[in-house]
A and B are shown apart, each in its own frame.
Chain A
């Protein structure tokens, strides 16, 4: 059984388009995250949701909008895609506690903007 799944795995699109990445976890966790990993493998958190409520919103262009319809899903919508958005995007989940426990990562979505 897949714990954290993301779709699509690969996404190739042109500048200016709008795209979405979907994430689902079946672990019963109530905290979910979106990370961006650049070409140098540097991993940076973008957003975090706890029980459908946004708790972390790092300095990310407002072209990026997360949406959590329920605590098992956290989708990422990106408007007006730019070349610099090309990266691998990872969804993750963890138990929601006052401190950060281990996170479970999805397989990643490789976004290429041409």
Chain B
């Protein structure tokens, strides 16, 4: 069954604006990861946050994790047209035997 669900399903912003995507999940996790998928390409790992971490940064990316609410958010600051892609959260659920369960994705469009 689907573990993570992203919100919104689609997001359209102007270049330079910030983009925020949310992910909710159902079971206890070891870690949560965010991936990007450009059209027609494979997924690329962006950032991993462990269950005992609350916030993590990588360049223009900021990820937060709230295990009490079973939710995470991905913030992309100062967006660029090249950030246009689908973004997926993936959870490594406790007891899942190293299996990642992906959410349904958010399609981000950054308009120049």
Q: Which residues of A approach B to under 8 Å, CB–CB?
A: 4, 31, 35, 40-45, 48, 50, 55-56, 90, 92, 94, 96-108
B interface, by DSSP: helix, strand, loop or mixed? Answer: strand
Q: Interface size for chain B: under 10, 10 to 19, 20 to 34, or 35 or more residues?
A: 20 to 34
Contact partner of B99 among A4, A56, A96, A108, CB < 8 A?
A56
Name the B residues within 8 Å of A48 (CB-CB).
97-99
Contact partner of B88 among A31, A43, A50, A106, CB < 8 A?
A43
For the complex, what is the distance from the CA of A101 to the CA of B92, rounded to whole Å?
A: 9
5 cross-chain CB contacts under 8 A? A42-B102, A42-B105, A103-B100, A107-B41, A108-B42
Given contacts A42-B104, A96-B98, contact A103 B86 (CB under 8 A): no
* Chain B residues numbered 38-87 whose CB sits less than 8 Å from any CB in chain A: 40-45, 48, 86
* Chain B residues numbered 94-110 whose CB sits less than 8 Å from any CB in chain A: 96-102, 104-105
Q: In the complex, are the beta carbons of A101 and B102 less than 8 A apart?
A: no
